[in-house]
Every structure is written in structure tokens, then in C-alpha cells.
Structure 1
Amino acid sequence: MTYGFTGKLLRVNLTNGTVSVEDSSKYNSYLGGAGTGNRIIYDEVPLGTKPYDEANKVVFAVGPSTGTSAPCSGRTTITSLSTFTKGNAVVHAHIGGEVAQHMKASGYDIFIIEGKASTPVYIKIADDDVTIEDATKLWGKTTRETSIEIMKELGKPFTVTSIGLAGENMVNLACVINAANHCAGAGVGAIFGSKNLKAVAMYGTGAVHVADPAKVLQLNEYVMKDLIGANNNHVVPSTERPWAEYSHPKSRWTGRPGLTWGAAEGGPVDTGDSIPGDINTVGYRTQKSVFDHGAVAEKYTVKMTGCTSCPIRCSSTVHLPELEKEGYVSAVSNTCMPNFMWSVILSKFKDYVEEGDGKFYANIAAMSTADDLGLWDNYGELPKTIAYFIKNGYLEKILPAEEFAALRWDLYEAGDAGFIKDIMYKISTKSGEIANLALGAYFVAEKYKDVVGEDYLNAKAVSVMMKNGSSKHHGNECAAQVGALTNIFYNRDCMTHTVINIVGSGLPYQVQKRIIDGLFGEGAIDMPAKYTAMNESKAKFAKFGIVRQSLHDSFTLCNWVWPLTFSPLKARNYEGDLSVEAQYMTAVTGENWSKEKLDDAAEKAIQLLRAMTVMAYGTVDMYNEHDQFNDWVYDDDPDVAAFTEGTVKMDREDMKIAYKMMYKEMGWDEETGAPTRSTLEKFDLKDIADKLEEMNLLP
């Protein structure tokens, strides 16, 4: 019997309508998820393929942890080609909800979508019964409507992942939505649309076998009692509690006596005290709606929800009945940027029920619309781009006069979210010039360079981190050079929760320093906004962040919680346990895995991704062509020098040193940032090194 892995790969070809099952074991050394996705795209998608070409593929992949009951193991990684950043290189999208569980329970480690259907279809997966179904009647429907229609047709146990109008119209920033509110971005929705694929419906009834069930349960108890905190593994409460040595107002451990889920069925539910070690109250720790929106959200909060196998419950479900009167879905759930970012488009907000609630209502209305349309905010880049073009007068310059005048400026002046909704629909249906604002920042800058010049990409207000168009999803504001460097590895926002979970944990700096410097060397972590020059300890810390993110995206675990670097327990001196993933891997697979061995497997995925990016860019000079930050990273606070207390700006000369240290830590050429043959062969990637040499792309 195979443990952890199912041993099966499902392939659905939309061009010829064939369904096949193959042995997936040849990919086991990549763990699953992101690692597996990278290898399949390398093996099967010809170099030079564009994201909307029929030859492009979409790879769903889960890892050995999926379906084992390990906390926060309900994530799926989706791999394809970028629609929205320079080079159209490989990107990963990540989705929670119920996809991972149903895919694994249906018997598959990997699910590959290839080809293109001639008419709209959806894929039905029910264990080994896999079919391609007609979706003509679903084309044009919202993601929510699509889910409801398919569940009616197939039965409620199915979990549906679908696209809306944005995906159908191949808007570069289109996402797929699972179970009404779980999103996978990175342009995957647009690639679905290019393949005439409306949705994937899954329902699995099989078991996931583990080698040592007793050990898995023992680890679960250990994690829940000793290690896990709240959302982002914040390990101290946001308010002073009699049992807590420390508290921090920005901690996501917001639950406390007197704070309720005010709109819960049957009456308000008090979140109470969730004392460390009490397994049964972990789900009350993260009152995310109040964290995101303030006190106004409490009375509208129905509950916290989340992904399969997750005790944290970080997704806030709110019900705003007043929105129904204006044509919005009034009960919505989300946890990340769509929850609170779209309101940046407006400069003021109309009140709904009480004074000051307008911004909250506007955010929920806009989020509801975006999810229905399957329109991805790109970690805030799209709403920030729209706001930037409006506030700087660029929108009037790029739009034909008639189109500009036709926008609902009356709603804008009233502070009404209907203005945002109107723009979202225009973008999602590609109605007019304004739709180009969803090309992705790099392509927006290229298209309108005669209008915006260098200002747009270099505007902190837009917060595009990289010159290749990747958004900032934690950068230099997060552990100085450490957070900045984690952005150079990807072809989209880096999502370095590994690092932000540490610096944002709520623990005092001196406690963080004791633990982090103990792991990576003296000077690994700076005080917030009191930065010091680059050193080798910081390079080791940055590599840890990237490798552990790769591990969680491959294994697959939620990197909003893992790794468990810190603990909420004073009795542990707040020290977490970085060996837990390897312990799970051993218990699940029955093979002996050390922390170092598992980290090496995760790094293999990163080394492969880097080599693939070199191929996509056609140059070894990754330092200049891929890894450069936009100028705002260095030019922020223009009257203040870098390393001055209170600023998070970076110093150009110091970052040149930082790049070299990071490249050295990764085993890359220190001048170009390209992987060397010796490093690739160390990770059993000799064939990749050979291909790079053939292309004259080895340093």
C-alpha cells in the first residue's frame, strides 16, 4: 500500500475529450503541490508557449499531508503560466476551501487540464468517474450561480470551482472561486476561459492512508496544544489577558470575552478566552471581521469559517441585509485582500445604517461583486491601479471622452460602491479602454508609458514591488532585506508569510531576536523600522523563508500558519518546532524524513523554478532582468537616509551586497543570480542543467 500519496495522476484533455489516469510516483521527489506543478509544466509545456495557447496546461496538485487531518492541510497549488507579469513565466495560485480534500479523496495527487474545448464545458470528478459535461447554459453566469446550478444538477456534496465573466473574457487578472469565496488568482481564471472551461466539480469518497495513524494523531494534539496560535500563527492576544505575559494590538488573536459573532444563528456567540493548550477553543481566537473592519463589523458577523482540516477559521462570514436592496449578495465570506482593499478606489463613503459604516459596506459590496465576477485584485494592485489613475488624472487621459463621461461619477461623488461595481463589470466584460487596467501592472505600464512615464510602477501607492510587475505581498517593511529578498524568487507576489508570521507574531522584539538569531546567527532580525546593514545571517533567514514557503506550497500546508516558528506557551520560552513537518512526513509516508531532508526536497522546487525562469527570460542575467525592485523601495521617505530609525526604505548599495549574499546562499552565480550546474546537480536536476547549457544559459 502507498501511504500519503495516492499514486495516481488524472489527465483531462479538453480538445479530444479523453480522460486518463497515470502513475504519479515519478513526481514524489517534488513532494506535490508547487514542486510537482513546476516539473510537469517543464516536462509538458513547450518553452515559448503563451498562457492562452492551447498548449498551456493547468496543474492542480496536493501533497502528502492532504487528507491526513494535519492542521491547516486543506490547500491546493495550481500551476500554469503567468498572464500578468513580464515573461509569462511559471506562477502558482493557491486555493483553500474543499478542493484539496475532494481531489485526494477521489484518489488523485495530481490533476492536469490540457487542450481546449470547442464549446463551454465543465469537468466532473467523482472518485474514478470523470466526465466532461456541457456548460453552455452556465456561460455568462456568476461563480456563485454556477456553483449552485452544478450542485443542483449533481447533488450538494460536490465542491465546485468556477470562473465568472472575467475568466470567460480572458481578463488577465481573473481568478477561480471555490465554494463561493475561496480564490485562486494568478490569472488561472483567464486560462480556464481560454480553454472554454467553466468549472471543475469534485466529490471524493475514498480514504487517505497513512503509515502511522497513532503518530499523526499524537502530532495533531501536540500542534494544537503546544504550537499553534491564531491567523498567521500570531501567538499572543491582541488585548491584555490574565493568562498572557504579552499582548499586541495588531495580533490576529482577537477573540476575547465580550467580543461576539453578533449575527450568529440563535444569537450572538461570545468568542471568550481561548487559553493556550485548550484545543476546543482555537477556532474562536481569530475574530477576523473585527480585525479587518473594526468594531462596526461585530454585529454583522455570522461566524468564522475556513478550509478543510483547519482549526483556525480565519475567514469571516458577514451578513449585511441592506446590501440586498442594492442588488448585492448580502452574505459573504473572505479573509484576505478582497475583504478590505477595493474601497481604495473611493475617496469618501456614504453611510448605510449608522454613521461611519460606509467603508465597511463598500468593501463588502465590492468583494461580493469581485467574487461573483471571478475578478482577482492581485493583492491589491488592481484597485490601487484604478485609484491611482483616477486620482492622478490619468484615467481621463487614457479613456475616450465618451467612455470617461459614461462612468458613474455621480456614484463616485456620493461615495457609493456602485461606482466600483460599474468598473468591475466593464473590466470583466472587456467593455472599453478601462478594461486594460486589469492587464497586470507591467503591461499597464508598457501600454500607457507615454501617459504615466516612470511614475506609475514607481509609486508606493500602487505598491508594485518588482520591475517585472509583481505586487508587494510583504517586502522591505517585513524584516528589512529579508522581506525584500524573498520577492526575487517568483513571477508574482511572493506571499512570504513565513517571515511576516515571525515579525508580526506579537511577541516582543527581544523574544523574537533570541529565537531567530539562535536559528540563523547574530543580526538575522532587526527591530521594526530600525534596520541595520545586510549580513549573512539575514541571507540565511531569507532562504529559510523561501524554502519553508516552498515546502508548505508543495507538502501542502497553509503558509498563513506554518511553519510553527513560535509557540504561545511561556513554558516553551515561546519557541516553536521546525521539525514538525518532517515528523508528519515520516508518520504519513512511513519513510524516515529529517528536517534537513524535507527542506532539501522543498528547495528542489525553488531551484527548478529559478531555472525555468531563466529559460523563460532567455538570459542568465537574472539580477538585472528579473530581480530588480521598483524605485520606491529605495526612494521612500526622500528626506530621510536608509537605516534611519522610523523608515523602512532600502539602500541601493547595501542591497547589491544583499543580492550577492542571497545568491551565494542559494548556490547561484553571485553576479547574475542564475543557478549553476553544481547546484542543479546537487538537487538531481542534471537534465535541467543540460538544457540550460544547450541554450547557453548556464553562468
Structure 2
Amino acid sequence: MTYGWMGNLLRLNLTDKTFKVEPSKKYFSYIGGKGIANRIMYEEVPAGTKPEDVANKIVFAVGPNTASSAPTSGRLTISTLSPFTKFNAIVDAHMGGDTATQMKCCGYDAVIIEGSSDTPVYIYVEDDKVEFRDATHLWGTTTTIATKEITKETENGTNVTTIGPAGENLCNLSCVINGIAHCGGAGLGKIFGQKKLKAIAFNGKKGVQLADPKRVKELNDYVMKDLIGSNNNHVVPTVPQSWSEYDNPRSRWTGHPGMTWGAAEGGPVVTGESAPGQPTLVGFRCQKAVFDFGAVAEKYTAKMTGCTFCPIRCYASMAVPQMEKKWGVPGRHANTCLGNRRESPLFLTYQDVEEEGDGKMMAGMYSAILDDDMGLWDNYGELLATLSYFMKDDYKLMKQILTEEEFAAIDWTKRETGDLTFLNDIVACLINPEHSLYNLTMGAYYVSEKYHDILGDDYLHSQAMALWGPLGGKRHHGNECAAQVGMLTNILYNRDGMCHTIVNITGSGLPYDIQRIIIEDLFGVGALDKPANYTPINEAKVKFAKFGVVRQVLHDSFTLCNWVWPMTFSPRKERQYKGDLSVEAQYMSAITGGDWTEERLDDAAERIIQLHRAMTILQAGTNDMRNEHDVISNFIFDMDPDKAPFTEGTVKLEREDWQKTLTLFYREFGWDEKLGCPTRATLEKFDLKDVADELEAKGLLPA
């Protein structure tokens, strides 16, 4: 019997509407999730394929830990080719909600979607039953309507992952949505739309077999009682509590006595204290609505919700009846983080309805509802940044890219007065291929290419855009997060890094001196700089950065939520706030029955990184990653012009030091130190000889 993995993958062919079940065992050494999905993409999608080509594929993949009952084990990785960043290289969308659990419980470790349909379809998978169903009646509908209709047409309990009009209209910045609010980005909506795939729906009833269920339960109890904190594994509360030694107002452990879910059914629910050792109260720790919107959101919070098997509940479910009265949209929605604001900061003012601040909150909700319905992806704020960039200086750039008729047709005074229907007007243009604003959804790299004559290089390199580099990926916890360490966690990917391993540490709420002691004990003296008081690069920082990306890839493959894991810190004073980095390996052993050590599991994750790097090189057609891929934006060196790098009060980096940083990072991964590409010896060390052979055949292996 296979434990943890289901042992099967499902191949779905949209061209001839056929499916095939195949064994997945040969991919187990890639763990699951990102690892399996990337390997399948490597084997089946030739280098040079474009995202819009029929030969491009979509791979959904879960891991042995998915649906095991481990805290935060409801994650899914979806791999395809990027339509929105330079090189169109391999890219992953990471999605929560219920899709991962339902897919795995249908009996599959991976689902491969290939080919292309002539007419709109959706796919329904119920355990062994697979149906390609006509979706003509759903084409053009919002994600909410499509989800509701497919739910009616299928068995009770079905999870629907669907695109909206943005994906149908082939916007590069489009996404898939499951559960009406859980997003899978990376331009995935366009790839669905290109293939005329409206949705895929799973209804799984099979169980996941665990090698040692008792041990898994023991680990669950250990994590819940001794290790887990709140969202981003923040381990101290925002305000003093009877049990806490420290507090930090920037922590996401927002629940406390007096704080409520004010709009809960049956009356307000007090979040109270949820001290370590009280696992049934963990779900009260994260009052995310207040963190995202401010105190005004408390009375409108119906509850906190989130992904399957996650105790943190970081999604704020809001009930704001004034929304429907004032703006004619449903007053209920659930989202988190940047998903709770989208394009709402475009407004120059907000219309408060009942009290100061509620207008800004409603604008955020309104934008979230609209974007999710349309399946429009904000790319970690990149779409907002681009729109803001083109609207600055009295719409100077906007007037240059729109026709006179297009510009005149938009009522810009709505933006100035806080009329939320301005967002309807803008989004309708953004997802309309016939409108010039549609071009701003291409992704920053392609926006720059199209409008370079008026933008020059400033747009891609500006602090206003905050891209990690001209490749077009948004900076996601970069130099502002542990200096060079944070930037290194961005450059490996062909999108924003989405790596939370490091920021979960620096943002934990613990005093810097406690963080430093724990991190230096793990990686060496000098690994963690004091915030905004940086030092030149050293080997300890490089080891820390490698840990960050290795654990992220592990979590995206195993699967676990990297917004919470790893358990580097603990909220328990009696542990000196030290977490336990061996827990993932302990779970892997208990779930699969194998003998997994922390080192062995990290090596398996690094193997996936080596493959991903090689795939990027093959798609880019160059092995000079230092100068063609790993280039970071100028603003990271040029910000705070009155301050020198490595002086207190700035997070800027220094150009010469960055080149040294890359050299040390490449050395840590066994890559050519000049080019930043894997050597044959390194690839063969990770059993990737076939990859080395292909690189050599194409002249992309370093001498």
C-alpha cells in the first residue's frame, strides 16, 4: 500500500475530450506539489513553447501531506508557462481553499490538463468519474455565477475552480478562483481561457492513507500546543495579555479580550486570550479584518475563515449591509491581505457612510468583490502600481496611451470624489481587448516593452512599481526584509517570490535580539541584520537565504502553507521562543512510512530548485542568469539618496556588494559562480543527468 501519496495522476485532454489514469510513483522523489508539477512540465512541454500554444499544459499537483490533517495542509500548486514575465518561463500558482483536498480525495496526486477545446467546457471529476461538460451557458459569467451554477449541476460538496471574463478575454493578469474568494494567480486564467476551459470541479470521497496515524495526531497536537502562532506565524500578540512576555502592535496575533467578531450570527463573539497550549482557541488569534482595514472593521466581521485544515483562519468574512444599500453590491465577502484592497488606493478620497474610515474599508471590499468576480489578478499589487503610475501627473501617461474618445468616456471625477463605480468603469476597460487599457494587464515587463518610447527604463526600475527586477516580478518581501537575504528569495522565480520563510521570522513580533540569537545559532554570526541597519554580505546570510527558498519549495511541494511554516519560532517562553525545524521531516516519515530526516527532505526540495533553475535557462535560451535573469531594480540601490548603503535608517543595497552576494549564493547552490547556472556535477548530484544532457546539447551547460 502507498501511504501519503494516492499513486495516480489524471491526464485530461481537452482536444479530444478523453482522460487517462496513470501511475504517479515515478514522481515521488520530487515530493509532490511544485516538485511533481515542475517535473511533468519539464518532461512534456518543450523549451521554447509559448504560454498560448496548444502544447503548453496546466498541472495541478498536491503532496503527501495534503489532506493528512496536519495544520495548514490544504495547499495546491498549479504550474504552467508565465504569460506575464520575460522569457515566458515556468511559473507556479499557489492556491488555498478546498481544491487541493477535493482533488486528492478523488484519488490523484496530479492532474494534467493538455490540448485545447474548440468550444467552452468545464471538467467534472468525482472520484473515478470524469466528465467534459459543455460550458457555453457559463462563458461570459462571473466566477461567482459560474461557481453557483456548476455547484447546482454537480453533486453536493463539489469544489469549483473557475475563471471569469478576464481569463476568457485572455488578460495576462488573470487568475482562477475557487470557493468564490481563493485565488490562483500567475496568469493562470489566461491559460484556462486560451484552452476554452471555464472551470474544473472536484468532488472527492476517498480517504488518504497514513503510515502512522497515531504519530500524525501526536505531531498535530505538538504543533498546535507548542509551535504555531498566528498568521505568518507571528508568535506575540498585538497588545499585552496575561500570558505574554512581549507584545507588538504590528503582529497579526490580533485577537484579545474585548476584540470581537462583531457581526457574528447570534451576536458578537469575543476573541479573548488564546494562550499557547490551548489548541481549540487558535482560530481566535487572527482577527484579520482589523489588521487589514483598521478598527472600523471589527463590528462588520462575521467570522474568520480560510483553507481546509488550517487553524489560523486568516480570511476575514465580512457582513456590510451598507454596501448593498449604497453601492448595489453584495455586502458579504471574504479575503485577506492585499486581496482586501486591490485597486481601491486609486481613489483620492473615500465616501464614508456611517463613520469615519468605513468608506476606505468598503472601497477595499468593493474592489475585491469586483476583481474576484472578473477573475482579474492584481499580481501582489502590480496592477495597482501600474494604474497609479499611468494616472500620476494629471493623467499625463494615461492620455498618451488612450485615444481621445477613450479618455473622455471615463468619468475621472468619480476617482476624485470616491465614487466606487469608478472601479467598474476601469475594470470593464481593463478586461476589454478592444480598449487601450487592456494593455496594462499584460504585466509590467510587457507594458514596458509596448510603451518604452514614453516610459524609458524608469517604469520598470522605479520605487513606485517596486518590482524585484526588470524581469517583471513584483518584489515580495525583498530588501526591506532582512537585507540581501530577502532579495535573494525573490530572484529564483519567474514571478514575485511569494517566499514567506524569512518575513515570518523578521515579522514574528519578537524583539530583534531574541530573533538574532535563534537565527545565528542556526546559520552563523551575522545572519540577521537589525531592521534598517544593514551590513555587507557574509556567508551566514547566504545560508539563511538558501534555507528560506528551500523551505518554501518544500512547503509548496509537501504541501504546507508557507504563510505560516516553517516553525522557526514558538510563542512559548519556556522554549526560549525556539521552534522546531524538524517537524516537516517528522510528518513526512509518519505519513509515508519512510525514514526522512530534515537534511534528506531539504535535499529533495533543493533538487526541485535545481530543476526549476535549469528549466528557466532552457526557456530563456541563455545560461547567463546573473546578467539576464537575476538583475534587480535600480531603486533598490538608489532609494534614500541622502543615505549611504549600510548606514542606519535605510534598507537600500549597494551594487558591488550585490554582485558579491550573487557569487556567494551561486556557490551555495553549486552553480557556476560567474553565470549562476547549475553545473553538470551539481545536476548529477541531484539525479538530474537527463537535464544536464539537454543543457549540454543546447550549449547551455557551463564549461
In structure 1, the partner of 2:236 is 236
Deviation for aligned residue 1:534 = 0.3
Distance in 1 between residues matched to 2:411 and 2:379, nearest whole Å: 24
Distance in 1 between residues matched to 2:488 and 2:571, nearest whole Å: 28
Distance in 2 between residues matched to 1:468 and 1:458, nearest whole Å: 10
In structure 2, the partner of 1:556 is 559
The alignment yields a C-alpha RMSD, in angstroms, of 0.8
Amino acid at match of 1:551: L
SS class of match (1:299): helix
In structure 2, the partner of 1:360 is 361
Amino acid at match of 1:103: M
* 2:185–2:377 contact (8 Å) kept in structure 1: yes
In structure 1, the partner of 2:179 is 179
Distance in 1 between residues matched to 2:328 and 2:385, nearest whole Å: 25
Report Cα offsets for 1:608-658 as digits up to 9, x if no partner: 000011111111110000000010111111111111111000110111110
Distance in 2 between residues matched to 1:685 and 1:88, nearest whole Å: 23
* 2:537–2:661 contact (8 Å) kept in structure 1: yes
In structure 1, the partner of 2:392 is 391
Report Cα offsets for 1:37-82 as digits up to 9, x if no partner: 1111110011111111111000000000011100000000000000
In structure 2, the partner of 1:92 is 92
Deviation for aligned residue 1:353 = 2.1
Deviation for aligned residue 1:425 = 1.7
Deviation for aligned residue 1:347 = 1.8
* 2:342–2:367 contact (8 Å) kept in structure 1: no
Distance in 2 between residues matched to 1:604 and 1:132, nearest whole Å: 36
Runs (4+) of structure 1 moved beyond 6 Å? none
Deviation for aligned residue 1:536 = 0.2
Report Cα offsets for 1:430-472 as digits up to 9, x if no partner: 2410111110000001111111112211221211111100001
- Match among 563, 566, 572 for residue 575 of structure 2: 572
SS class of match (1:324): helix
Distance in 1 between residues matched to 2:61 and 2:155, nearest whole Å: 25
**Range that drifts further, 618-627 or 410-419:** 410-419
Distance in 2 between residues matched to 1:214 and 1:384, nearest whole Å: 49
1:151-162 to structure 2, matched below 5 A, reads 151-162=151-162
Report Cα offsets for 1:138-164 as digits up to 9, x if no partner: 001100000000111113310101000
Amino acid at match of 1:511: I
- Match among 436, 461, 474 for residue 477 of structure 2: 474
Deviation for aligned residue 1:341 = 3.7
SS class of match (1:208): coil
In structure 2, the partner of 1:506 is 509
SS class of match (1:91): strand
Amino acid at match of 2:611: L
Distance in 2 between residues matched to 1:111 and 1:2, nearest whole Å: 18
In structure 1, the partner of 2:43 is 43
In structure 1, the partner of 2:593 is 590
- Match among 669, 684, 701 for residue 681 of structure 1: 684
**Range that drifts further, 398-407 or 81-90:** 398-407
In structure 1, the partner of 2:453 is 450
1:652 aligns with 2:642: no
* 1:523–1:538 contact (8 Å) kept in structure 2: yes
In structure 2, the partner of 1:109 is 109
* 1:345–1:420 contact (8 Å) kept in structure 2: no
Deviation for aligned residue 1:329 = 2.6
Distance in 2 between residues matched to 1:547 and 1:621, nearest whole Å: 22
In structure 2, the partner of 1:535 is 538
Distance in 1 between residues matched to 2:636 and 2:453, nearest whole Å: 23
Distance in 2 between residues matched to 1:54 and 1:329, nearest whole Å: 38
1:478-489 to structure 2, matched below 5 A, reads 478-489=481-492
* 2:348–2:417 contact (8 Å) kept in structure 1: no
Distance in 2 between residues matched to 1:155 and 1:404, nearest whole Å: 47
In structure 1, the partner of 2:351 is 350
1:10-49 to structure 2, matched below 5 A, reads 10-49=10-49
Amino acid at match of 1:514: I
Distance in 2 between residues matched to 1:474 and 1:186, nearest whole Å: 17
**Range that drifts further, 326-335 or 539-548:** 326-335
- Identical amino acids, percent of aligned pairs: 59
Deviation for aligned residue 1:294 = 0.3
In structure 1, the partner of 2:268 is 268
In structure 1, the partner of 2:3 is 3
Distance in 2 between residues matched to 1:341 and 1:292, nearest whole Å: 12
Deviation for aligned residue 1:355 = 2.7
1:104-503 to structure 2, matched below 5 A, reads 104-325=104-325, 326-392=327-393, 393-503=396-506
Deviation for aligned residue 1:356 = 2.8
Report Cα offsets for 1:80-103 as digits up to 9, x if no partner: 000100000000001110001101
Distance in 1 between residues matched to 2:357 and 2:18, nearest whole Å: 56
1:523 aligns with 2:507: no
Amino acid at match of 1:461: A
TM-score normalised according to structure 2 size: 0.99
Deviation for aligned residue 1:110 = 0.4
SS class of match (2:107): coil
Amino acid at match of 2:569: F
Distance in 2 between residues matched to 1:291 and 1:134, nearest whole Å: 43
Distance in 1 between residues matched to 2:572 and 2:71, nearest whole Å: 18
SS class of match (2:59): strand
Amino acid at match of 1:360: M
* 1:328–1:369 contact (8 Å) kept in structure 2: no
Deviation for aligned residue 1:413 = 2.0
SS class of match (2:318): strand
Report Cα offsets for 1:297-350 as digits up to 9, x if no partner: 111111000000000001101122122232323211111312124222122212
Distance in 2 between residues matched to 1:345 and 1:677, nearest whole Å: 49
- Match among 621, 628, 633 for residue 630 of structure 1: 633
Report Cα offsets for 1:573-606 as digits up to 9, x if no partner: 1000000000000000001000000000011110
SS class of match (1:384): helix
Deviation for aligned residue 1:418 = 1.5
Deviation for aligned residue 1:389 = 0.5
Deviation for aligned residue 1:121 = 0.3
**Range that drifts further, 326-335 or 520-529:** 326-335
1:696 aligns with 2:699: yes
TM-score normalised according to structure 1 size: 0.99
Report Cα offsets for 1:200-252 as digits up to 9, x if no partner: 11100001000000000000000000000000000000111121011111000
Amino acid at match of 2:689: K
SS class of match (2:502): helix
Amino acid at match of 2:654: D
Amino acid at match of 1:11: R
Q: Could you list the runs of 5+ residues in structure 1 that have no partner in the other structure?
A: none
Report Cα offsets for 1:139-193 as digits up to 9, x if no partner: 0110000000011111331010100000001100000000000000000011000
Distance in 2 between residues matched to 1:625 and 1:329, nearest whole Å: 46
SS class of match (1:138): coil
Q: In the comparison of the two structures, how many residue pairs are matched?
A: 699
SS class of match (1:531): coil
Amino acid at match of 2:264: A
**Range that drifts further, 383-392 or 687-696:** 383-392
In structure 2, the partner of 1:603 is 606
* 1:346–1:387 contact (8 Å) kept in structure 2: no
SS class of match (1:497): coil
SS class of match (2:424): helix
- Match among 668, 673, 687 for residue 670 of structure 1: 673
* 2:155–2:203 contact (8 Å) kept in structure 1: no
SS class of match (1:200): strand
Report Cα offsets for 1:470-493 as digits up to 9, x if no partner: 001110000000001111100000
Distance in 2 between residues matched to 1:660 and 1:649, nearest whole Å: 19
